Amino acid sequence: AKPTGRYLHKDHQLWAPLTLADFEAINRCERSLPKNFNFAGDVLDQWSQKEKTGERPDNPALWWVNGKGAEVKWSFEELGSLSRKAANVLIKPCGLKRGDRVAVILPRIPEWWLINVACMRTGLVFMPGTTQLTAKDILYRLRASKAKCVVVSEEVVPAVESIMSECPDLKTKLLVSPHSQNGWLSFQELFQSASEEHSCVETGSQEPVAIYFTSGTTGAPKMAQHSQSSLGIGYTLCGRYWLDLKSSDIIWNMSDTGWIKAAIGSVFSSWLQGACVFVHRMAQFDTDTFLDTLTTYPITTLCSAPTVYRMLVQKDLKRYKFKKLRHCLTGGEPLNPEVLEQWKAQTGLELYEGYGQTEVGIICANQKGQEIKPGSMGKGVQPYDVQIIDENGNVLPPGKEGEIALRLQTTRPFCFFSEYVDNPEKTAATIRGNFYVTGDRGVMDSDGFFWFVGRADDVIISSGYRIGPFEVESALIEHPAVVESAVVSSPDPIRGEVVKAFVVLSAPFKSSNPEKLTLELQDHVKKSTAPYKYPRKVEFVPELPKTITGKIKRNVLRDHEWGRT
Ligand code: BCO
């Protein structure tokens, strides 16, 4: 008879729950993937069992605060029963079926975690988006993904209302709010009456679990699809060795719910290790509130973008006594060695940088116990074989600059994204010979440490955001003042790099006040697309540098910004 548990290995003929050791072995390629895997059933429910048997410390699974006195603490058992209720909301009143795509645009509220886990339990494909998305961004996402359901908080309702007539596949609109709205199902109301009885779907290991929209040089964002195992098993080593988590730890990962970093630090890596995920819903990022949080709560592990640490080291950090902080991490953009040194000098704590991508997760990291070379993003992490390659896919020797790439094994590594949905050309373009190419340029030194140089394409990495120039140029051209524009990165002491727009003005606007027009264009971009992409610098120019075939030479403008010849 089949006991409660999962088919572990086709050769072993075993029925047993998968353990962390199994997940590690899979990541080390010592064991093959199980046929079926579901993070909710195989990881979260296992931790719930361990809570009951006293094998896990008395530590919440999710600890949420809002800074205004509200607090939520859920054990794994509570997370289990509440997410089963949420699963019943998604399948019954919402009428969703396994494989349906659900766009979830929620701020950092506990329901984001519930709906995320509920999607896993029901085999729905979770598509998170930042609440900074505008109506135009949401329209693109809903249409491109053919999403069946959108789940939003109150502030996103007007944007969805304004475009939903153009989304024929959208069947259900679910609102997470204490107030109900005409035409929207109320999550809170349905949740109250939903049953706690739900059997987790036996999803295949390679079955889609989530889609992330990622920006490139050209075109609209691509849909990077991940599988149950790529996220659910692929982050085991990251949680143990980079985040250095144990089930007694409390991790505060600052990332917005829309990014893969939220999946890494606030869901998969952390919960694989049974750690507590801490969340502070700040209305707006603020360094004082941030530091107060570290002094008030027993947070052991902090993960935040380098921009945040750059902001924090401006303060007198010696004034603050962090309650339990012992391990600090950063990623999403390059960290300057000065910031690492200032953070260490002021807090006594090292800063462990990780480098990765939405598509393939963590690629390089400074791991606990290893030497840190300030300015380097550490060594390649298992299971990846990270190399620097040239334009023909040849491995370059230490010290030579080239593209950062991951060697493909005989099969595509299971922790890779599965594909860019409906975009086989772009999926194929990530492969060069026997390598997956990241689009980032770097150098490996003779000790195997990797050093980031910059993007190989025109993508801008600002404050940890990956911003496609085309998306900003498309927003600018909608304004009557803009004849054409070129958007490139420009250095910034706090944000690493920022978006800079070179704009050629139309005749009626040529004599406009430049400061006023800059503000108007910035405001226009913030309304047209997610505000984090707005050009923080604008320069009006008579013409743009172009090739003889008329293509704008962004590289000339970028090199000029960075003082390169
Ligand atoms: O700075 P400004 O005030 O001029 O502009 C800000 C906002 O005020 C503005 N804005 C936001 N909502 C708006 C709005 N303006 C008009 N209407 C609205 N509805 O837009 C700008 C947004 O910039 P921001 O998001 O950078 O804001 P802020 O407050 O400066 O936050 C700083 C950070 C550091 C907290 C923030 O930039 C951040 O969270 N960055 C990290 C991003 C991240 O998590 N990246 C990881 C991606 S995943 C990855 O890299 C893979 C790794 C494996």
- Number of residues in the chain: 565
Q: Which residues pair with 73 in a beta bridge?
A: 63
Q: Strand pairing partners for 212?
A: 224
Q: What pLDDT does residue 60 have?
A: 98
pLDDT greater than 50 at residue 126:
yes
Pick the more confident residue, 283 or 16: 283
- What would the mean pLDDT of 233-250 be, rounded to a whole number? 97
Residue 14 has pLDDT above 80, yes or no: no
How much is the average pLDDT of 483-498?
A: 97
Residue 381 has pLDDT above 70, yes or no: yes
Distance from residue 290's CA to the centre of ligand 1 (Å): 15
- Give the mutation target among 136, 290, 532 for probing the ligand 1 site: most ligand atoms within 8 A of CB: 532
CA distances to 8, 20, 506, 507 from 542, in Å = 65, 61, 10, 11
pLDDT of residue 29: 87
What type of residue is 461? I
Least confident span in 28-37, 74-83, 138-147, 169-178: 28-37
Closest CA to 119 of 207, 236, 234: 207
Confidence of residue 335 (pLDDT cuts 50, 70, 90): very high
Q: What CA–CA distance (Å, rounded) separates 562 from 559? A: 5
- Atom 26 of ligand 1: nearest residue by CA position: 532
- Report the nearest-CA residue for atom 2 of ligand 1: 532
Q: Please state whether beta strands 402-407 and 435-444 pair in parallel, antiparallel, or not at all (unpaired).
A: antiparallel
Which of 469, 529, 540 is closest to 499 using CA atoms?
469
Which residue among 156, 157, 279, 285 is best mutated to probe the pocket of ligand 1, counting the most ligand atoms within 8 A of its Cβ?
285
How many Å apart are CA 296 and CA 257, to the nearest integer?
23
In the sheet that 125-128 helps form, which strands lie side by side, from edge to edge? Answer: 185-186, 172-176, 149-153, 101-105, 125-128, 208-214, 222-227, 419-420
E strand intervals along 132-207: 149-153, 172-176, 185-186
SS3 265: helix
Looking at residue 141, its pLDDT comes to 98
Geometric angle at alpha carbon 259, from 258 and 262, rounded to 5°: 100
CA dist 115 and 387 (Å) reads 38
Query: How far is the first Cα of the chain from the last one, in angstroms, to the nearest whole number?
Result: 71
CA-wise closest residue to 43 among 122, 113, 116, 117? 117
Lowest model confidence (mean pLDDT) among 140-154, 400-414, 475-489, 509-523: 400-414
Question: Cα separation of 504 and 238, whole Å?
Answer: 46
Ligand 1 mutation target, pool 256, 363, 463, most atoms within 8 A of CB: 463
Span from the CA of 285 to the centroid of ligand 1 (angstroms): 8
pLDDT band at 480 (very low <50, low <70, confident <90, very high): very high
- Alpha helices by DSSP H, listed for 164-286, are 187-193, 228-232, 236-237, 260-263, 269-272
Distance between CA 478 and CA 465 in Å, rounded? 23
What's the CA gap between 128 and 151, in Å, rounded?
9
Distance 198 CA to ligand 1 centre (A): 37
Residue 276 has pLDDT above 60, yes or no: yes
| Amino acid at the residue 185 | L
Q: Given this model, what pLDDT does residue 16 score?
A: 65
Omega within 30 of 0 (cis) for the link into 57: no
Closest atom, ligand 1, to C-alpha of 332: 50
Is the model's pLDDT at 236 over the cut of 50?
yes
How many whole angstroms from 324 Cα to the centroid of ligand 1? 27
Closest CA to 114 of 225, 272, 356, 277: 277
Closest residue by CA, ligand 1 atom 31: 285
Cα–chain center distance at 563: 31
pLDDT at 216: 86
Query: Which residues line the pocket of ligand 1, CB cutoff 6 A?
Result: 132, 255-256, 259-261, 284-285, 305, 307-308, 331-332, 356-358, 362, 463-465, 526, 531-532
Residue 352, Ramachandran bin (φ over 0: left; ψ between -120 and 50: alpha; else beta): beta
In the predicted structure, residue 48 carries a pLDDT above the cut 60: yes
Task: Compute the Cα dihedral for 134, 139, 144, 150 and give only its sign.
Answer: positive
Mean pLDDT of 419-435: 96
- The 10 Å Cβ neighbour count of residue 274 is 25
Taking the C-alpha atoms of residue 111 and residue 191, their distance in angstroms, rounded to an integer, is 11
Which of 15-19, 125-129, 266-270 comes out lowest in average pLDDT?
15-19
- The rounded distance, in Å, linking the Cα atoms of 368 and 100 is 40
Instruction: For 211-223, give one letter per residue: b (16+ CB within 10 A) or e.
Output: bbbbbbeeebbbb
* Predicted local confidence at residue 26, as pLDDT: 92
* Alpha carbons 326 and 106: distance in angstroms, whole number: 30
pLDDT, position 564: 82
Ligand 1 centre to CA of 386 (Å) is 30
Res. 15 pLDDT band, cuts 50 70 90? low
pLDDT at 10: 45
Query: Which pLDDT value is given to residue 486?
Result: 97
Of 210, 265, 271, 245, nearest in space to 74 by CA = 271
Residue type (1 letter), 266: S
Task: Supply the pLDDT for residue 133.
Answer: 97
From 526, 529, 538, mutation site for ligand 1 pocket: most ligand atoms within 8 A of C-beta: 526
Q: Are 82 and 198 in contact (CB under 8 A)?
A: no
Q: How far is CA 220 from CA 216, 333, 358, 432, in A?
A: 8, 21, 16, 23
Q: Distance from CA of residue 347 to its chain's centroid?
A: 27
Is the pLDDT at 394 greater than 90, yes or no?
A: yes
Strands 172-176 and 149-153, by their bridges, are parallel
- Cα 435 to ligand 1 centre (Å): 33
Q: Whose CA is nearest to atom 22 of ligand 1?
A: 532
What is the phi-psi region of residue 403: left when phi exceeds 0, alpha when psi lies from -120 to 50, beta otherwise? beta
- Candidates 403, 385, 383, 387; CA nearest to 395 is 387
What is the 3-class SS of 371-391, one letter each residue? CCCCCCCCEECCCCCEEEECC
Q: How many other CB atoms sit within 10 Å of the CB of residue 558?
A: 22
Ligand 1 mean position, distance from CA 532 (Å):
5
Which of 5-9, 144-148, 198-202 has the weakest average pLDDT? Answer: 5-9
Average pLDDT rounded to a whole number, residues 273-292: 96
Instruction: Tell which wins on pLDDT, 517 or 549.
Output: 517
Average pLDDT rounded to a whole number, residues 491-504: 97
Q: How far apart are the CA of 456 and the centre of ligand 1, in A? A: 24
- For residue 358 the two structure tokens come to 């939405």
Q: What is the largest CA-CA distance in the chain?
A: 82
Average pLDDT over the chain, rounded to whole? 94
Contact criterion met (CB below 8 Å) for 44 and 228: no
Which ligand 1 atom sits closest to the C-alpha of 523? Answer: 16
Tell whether the model's pLDDT for residue 359 goes beyond 50.
Answer: yes
Mean pLDDT score, 299-310? 97
Q: What is the 3-state secondary structure of 389-454?
A: ECCCCCECCCCCCEEEEEECCCCCCCCCCCEECCCHHHHHCCEECCEEEEEEEEEECCCCCEEEEE
Query: What is the number of other CB atoms lying within 10 angstroms of the CB of residue 562?
Result: 13
Mean pLDDT confidence for 57-73: 96
Q: How far apart are CA 128 and CA 532, in angstroms?
A: 16
**d(C-alpha 204, C-alpha 230), whole Å:** 12
